Structure 1
Amino acid sequence: MIVDIHGRPLERETLKEQQTSRLSQLHSEYADHPSNGLTPPRLAQILRAAEQGDIRAQCELFQDMEEKDAHLLAEIGKRRRALTTIEWQVAPPRNPTPTEKAEAEWLNEMLQDLGDFEDLLFDMLDAIGKGFSCIELDWQLVGREWMPAAFNYRESSWFQLDPQTRTELRLRDGTPEGEALNPFGWIVHQHKAKSGYVARGGLYRVLAWPYLFKNYAVRDLAEFLEVYGLPLRLGKYPPGASAQEKATLLRAVVSIGHNAAGIIPEGMAIDFKEAAKGTHEPFDWMVQWAEKSMSKAILGGTLTSQADGKSATHALGAVHNEVRHDLLRSDAKQVATSLRQYLLYPLLVLNKGGERDPRRLPRFQFDLVEAEDLGVYAEALPKLVTAGMQIPASWAHDKLRIPLPNGKEPILGKLVGAEQGAAAARVAALKTQQPADPLDDLAEQLAGDWQPVAALAEPVQQLLARCKTLEEFRDRLPEIIPQLDVDDLAELIAQGMFAANLAGRSGAA
């Protein structure tokens, strides 16, 4: 029997059909947009209902907040997209066996071939704001291997909480309990943006109030700008005027402010008072307060988002950027844990079989190590080595993010003594001499790089040393022909002919 990471048994028939395909009512739903006409009492009611297990209105409100607030969308987009640009790999557990190493390599190849894997990471991080994100897996059988054909993001409003514990996410199927999620059918990512159970774990619960107050400020600013600079119009009607005459006067008073023209019945008058005064600063202050609160909650600071020109400095910006890096590390670890449980584990169980110890699963790792300052280390390491400190080469390579050579590729070497002086002399000569014929430079370069000749000559010289006469040497020459590798020599000749052709064309031009 195959069980998932939580011990729930798998029915293989569920792999052939997505669970939501049987819940057609969810696909035909339209959002209620609770942000329309949102007030403080209505917002408190939505948040309270979510705490009691009904999270639909809260999830729809959070979706409206992203669509209607450009600043909120930009800030949460920075945090979500940051992780999609980081290199990643699947690593075996500690002290791995050969089988565990092979499985980690197989998972690496499998995930690298998935074209929409970056989209999966982005959709998983929707949980930062809403508290959770559910991606439905569409499995397909390719040859003899099960692999996900697509990662389908499902709206958070499709889910509810179980009425007993309010911690388990279930699909809304019209029943009070909801439908439990199928094993191996979902990637469920619950993000700890703040402590609390699922309904209160999303960051948008904190941002809902700044969003609401900002909307009030923007609305009031629009009303202020509509009448700013326009004089107060006061209509006067005589005693005994009918309701129709009063309505006619009111329409004239309203339209004359914008149209600069209007008509009123005889005997009535319009008195123009002083133009409307005021300032936009209180509204701007409220909008800035709301946006700064959002930036602090999402990115941990404000100087990486917008600067006021007064308190913004490069040093403070660097500090705030370090806070963003801490958030990135936290997001990466939480996403890696969910991928390990809901993607790596199913892939191994379905394709490699066998019982799995969750403690020995491969690990999904993001490369979050930043390279150190090369200049600082280049100056400090030689001094420390000269002082007698023993520094492992692997440690220096890890710090500077410089990969170790694989043994076959050329490496940079250190010039010492006469070589360093000769190199300096060549550089000085090149700076002072006149431009030379490119063919002469090419001949000198090829002559100085004629390394394969030495490799070919070594077996010949060894045979010559063993022979006593030239006739014996001549007769035994065919014996060493299989030992001669002419590939490097042929490659060098081909490069020389190609470079000579280009140099000749360049000189002719």
Structure 2
Amino acid sequence: MSSKGLWVSPTEFVRFAEPKREKSFTDHIASRSRSFDAQALGMYLPNPDPILKAQGKDITVYRDLRSQALVGGNIRRRKSAVLALERDLKRGKAPVRVERFIRDWLTDLDLDRIIRELLDASLFGFQPVELMWKPVGLQMVPEDLLGKPAEWFLYDQDNQLRFRARDAGLKGELCDPQRFIVARQDATYNNPYGFADLSMCFWPAVFMKGGLKFWVQFTEKYGSPWVIGKHPRGATSGETDLLLDSLEAMVQDAVAAIPDDASIEIVEAAGKAGSADVYRELLEYCRSEINVAMLGQNQTTEKDSNRASATAGAEVTKDIRDGDAGIVAAALNAAIRLVVDINFGESVDAPLYELWEQEEIDKTLAERDKNLTDAGVKFTPAYWARTYNLQEGDLVELPAPVEATPAVEFTEPVLRPVLDQAALDQAIADISAEQLQEQAEQALLPVIEALQQGRDGTEVLGLLAEVSPDLDATALQDRLARLMFIADTWGRLSAAADLED
């Protein structure tokens, strides 16, 4: 028998090498193919956006909103905020040659345009980008990253991106993961299309457009004075029509010719200010809703906001900017990962592309460097120039301070460099025991006499104070310092000789 196992009964054999399993650990248990979801019955997964489902359209309807001044201005503001960030490639754990290769490749790309196209993911939920590969020597790199219209693509039941090709039917053509990357906002398993911020602007934009139309009609109707013509009771229809034509000409040209028995009266529209305020409040409400949807707040755009509320609103806008920057960084890092996998292998670490606000980084570094400097750390001019992007000539290099040589004390040996052995021998020869004894007796003689004459400690101190101005111990101090220096030097030389032996 080829299989190893055990007969647990006369009719049942259990193999050791083939354990019985009902489901693999990598298979989905809760999947669309096994659920009662009505969307799972179709050939592809429709976009669950409630606005698109209600309208029965694709995201093309959101592109029309960009032509409105308020929506288009907020879109431009969000994209400009991300483009204003500092951005660079961080090597991390990637090899140096890989980091240089990726950096050279990114230099040849129009990153500003690519980032603008990637930021459409926050507007429409997702943004497919096609990688246009080309050979460069022995390597393959994308020549360009082109954002394609999101309405050309869909997701299938397995959350795989497909292209709506004419010859591929309703299911679409499966996209090669090495040819396409997708930037998405808040994408989930249930909604791989992501969340479109413009979906929050649809109805406010529609109501704003309709309210503006009725407001214009209201202004045309009640904004100008009414010209009323009066004709005699017995006037014929022809005479009445002639008077109306004259009134119409009067409104346009301010000149009219009427019969002498007719009259004209100009009446101002009064009591309609409240009706005009209704349209104005509707438009302001729609504006506020669009600003909240696109910027997260309306304090930086409304006239009634104060400094505190505008500052708080700007912080919310920065959070949305950082979220958009995260979408861009994730998409670019996915493209970098593909380039590294194809050219260097899947096991090689890839560098990361990051976006950040330089002002916040500079503030953090400045506080850290200040604390280290106060603690005694000294940074070189090269560090300041590299960290804070300073140019040549911005820093004035001061000469290093010269440390003063401490005064010679009896308890502190003076360590001076030994020039050669002859100088050391000469220093030893200059000092004789007789000279040292003579100078010591001369310096200590007044002290001994003061001790012999004194009766107590206070009187001895007084006598010492009297004789101290005449005490000349300079020569003795100098010779003692020489002896200490010679002893220290001789000890060092002896220790070095022992180590060599």
Mapped contact 1:91–1:363 kept (Cα < 8 A)? yes
Residue from 91, 104, 107 that aligns with 1:109: 104
Amino acid paired to 2:99: A
Q: Does 1:286 align with 2:282?
A: yes
Query: Which residue in the other structure is 2:353 paired with?
Result: 364
Paired position in structure 1 for 2:138:
144
- Larger deviation, residues 218-227 vs 374-383: 374-383
8 A Cα contact 1:135 1:187, kept in partner: yes
Q: How does 1:182-261 map to 2 (within 5 A)?
A: 182-192=176-186, 197-198=191-192, 201-232=195-226, 257-260=251-254
Say if 1:138 and 1:149, in contact at 8 Å, map to a contact too.
Answer: yes
Q: Secondary structure at the match of 1:184?
A: coil
Structure-to-structure mapping, 1:372-387, within 5 angstroms: 372=363, 385=375
CA distance in 2, matches of 1:300, 1:193: 19
Q: Aligned-pair distance for 1:130? A: 0.8
TM-score by length of 2: 0.56
- C-alpha distance in 1 between matches for 2:379 and 2:219: 66
1:65 and 2:101 equivalent?
no
Q: State which of 402, 405, 413 in structure 1 corresponds to 2:387.
A: 402
Report the Cα distance in structure 1 between the residues aligned to 2:339 and 2:320, rounded to whole angstroms. 29
Cα separation, 2, equivalents of 1:239 and 1:200? 73
Q: What one-letter code is carried by the residue in structure 2 that aligns with 1:324?
A: T
CA distance in 1, matches of 2:243, 2:347: 83
Q: Cα distance, 1:170 vs. partner?
A: 3.0
How much is the aligned-residue C-alpha RMSD, in angstroms?
A: 4.8
Matched residue SS, 1:372: helix
Cross-structure match for 1:89: 88
Q: Which of 338, 353, 360 is matched with 1:346 structurally?
A: 338
Residues 229 and 263 in structure 2, CA contact (< 8 A), matched pair in contact too: yes
* Counterpart secondary structure, 2:201: helix
Q: 5+ residue gaps in structure 2?
A: 1-47, 405-418, 424-501
Amino acid at match of 1:300: G
Work out whether 1:134 is the aligned partner of 2:128: yes
Shift of 1:189: 0.9
Deviations 1:164-187 (A, max 9, x none): 467745335372212222332223
Shift of residue 203 of structure 1?
0.3
Indicate yes or no: 2:320 matched with 1:327. Answer: yes
Which of these two proteins has the greater Rg computed from alpha carbons?
A: 2
- Supply the distance in 2 between the matched residues of 1:393 and 1:362 (Cα, whole angstroms): 29
Alpha carbons of structure 1 residues 140 and 247: separation in structure 2 relative to 1, 3 Å: farther
**1-side partners of 2:194 and 2:244: how far apart?**
50
Secondary structure, aligned partner of 1:106: helix
Contact 1:55 1:157 in 2 (8 A): no
2:78 corresponds to which letter in structure 1?
Answer: R
Alpha carbons of structure 1 residues 138 and 382: separation in structure 2 relative to 1, 3 Å: closer
TM-score after normalising by structure 1:
0.55
Please give the alpha-carbon distance, in whole angstroms, between the structure 1 residues aligned to 2:364 and 2:400. Answer: 23
> Closer, same or farther in 2 for the Cα pair 1:373/1:362, shift >3 Å?
closer
Cα drift, residue 72 of structure 1:
1.4
| Structure 1 position 207, deviation (Å) | 0.7
Contact 1:135-1:154 within 8 A present in 2 as well: yes
Q: CA deviation at 1:102?
A: 2.4
Q: Which amino acid is the alignment partner of residue 367 of structure 1?
A: W
**1:317 aligns with one of 310, 316, 324:** 310
Residues 162, 174 of structure 2: 8 Å contact kept: yes
How much does 1:368 deviate? Answer: 3.8
Partner of 1:442: none
Does the 8 Å contact 1:129/1:202 carry over to 2?
yes
Deviation track 1:239-294 (CA, whole Å, cap 9, x = no partner) reads 9998x999988777666543445689999998765436533443333323222222
Question: Is the Cα contact below 8 Å between 1:256 and 1:262 reproduced in 2?
Answer: yes
> Could you say if the C-alpha distance between residues 254 and 159 of structure 1 is closer, same or farther in structure 2, counting changes exceeding 3 Å?
farther
Which residue matches 1:300?
Answer: 296
Q: CA deviation at 1:120?
A: 0.2
* SS in structure 2 at match of 1:222: helix
CA contact (8 A) 2:51 2:199 kept: no
Of 166, 178, 190, which residue of structure 2 is paired with 1:173?
A: 166
- Is the 8 Å Cα contact of residues 88 and 353 (structure 2) preserved in structure 1? yes
Q: CA deviation at 1:127?
A: 1.2
CA distance in 1, matches of 2:200, 2:159: 20
The SS at the match of 1:218 is helix
Which amino acid is the alignment partner of residue 363 of structure 2? E
Deviation string, structure 1 residues 202-242 (Cα, Å, up to 9, x no partner)? 00000111111211222122223323443345689989998
Question: Counterpart amino acid of 1:136?
Answer: E
